Structures are given as structure tokens and as C-alpha cells.
Structure 1
Amino acid sequence: MTVLRNNAGDPAKHQQAIEALARESDTPVEHVRELYEIEHARLNSQARVKTFVSVLATRLVRNVLHAERSSDS
């Protein structure tokens, strides 16, 4: 899925969020990117106001990564 790579907006901002989540969770960047793109696309398609879509997507991905870590333990 290449939602963000071809999407208008600030790709550098998305990349920074993805890389920060990957570092924070010690997870491969590509896995985080896949989760982020899915959440961002879902939220963006439903949002009337798009201002905080990135923030919400970051939060949801962080929750998913935390749940994945917890289930691995």
C-alpha cells in the first residue's frame, strides 16, 4: 500500500512519525510504515477535518505496537 507516498501533504512529517515509532518500539520501519499507512488511510477517509489525522494515526499505531509487544511476552 502506498497511500502516503503518493498523498498530498507533508511526506517528511509522516516519515518522521514512522521512524520515531519504529525507534520507540524497536520495530522494523517497514512494519511501522504499513501499520501507519493503513490507519492513516482509514482515518483520512472518514475524517471531515483532516488536521489531526496524522496525530491520531500515530497514536493508534503506537497502541497496536504496544499490543504486539505485550502478546509476544
Structure 2
Amino acid sequence: MIFYARPEPFDGRTFGTPAALGLLIVVFAANLPAVWLPYSLVEKPMMRGWSRSRKRPEPSAPQRTELAATGKTV
């Protein structure tokens, strides 16, 4: 939205640093609700209703190790 919406209302003008930072803050603040609404109204309910938990792999049996100094199996 930042890259596509700016040229239309401002006719491609450039701004000084304080004005550009102010515009950036305003556009960022306008984008937050624009991305939060679909996330909270679409993404979260769909994932809550249709997702499944990941299957955890079964723990493997402990493997035998050999002590190097004594040659005994543990």
C-alpha cells in the first residue's frame, strides 16, 4: 500500500525529511488496522477451526555406547 498509494494522492511529489517521516508514520499507522483486521477476522478463526497439531515423533530407544578407555558397553 505504501508504494502504490503514495503516487496517486500526492502526484509523485517529493517531500522534505520531516514531512516525509510524518507521511511515513501516517501511512504506517493506516496500514496497521488494514492488516490486523483480515488477520483477526479471517486467519485466526480459520487456523483455530481447521488446523491440526503437529504429530510429535516417538522417542527412539536409547542407544548403547561404548566407553573408549575400558572397552565396556554401557
TM-score, normalised on structure 2? 0.35
TM-score, normalised on structure 1? 0.36
Q: Choose between structure 1 and 2: higher helix proportion.
A: 1
Q: Larger RCO: Structure 1 or Structure 2 (Cα < 8 Å, ≥ 6 residues apart)?
A: 1
Structure of larger gyration radius: 2
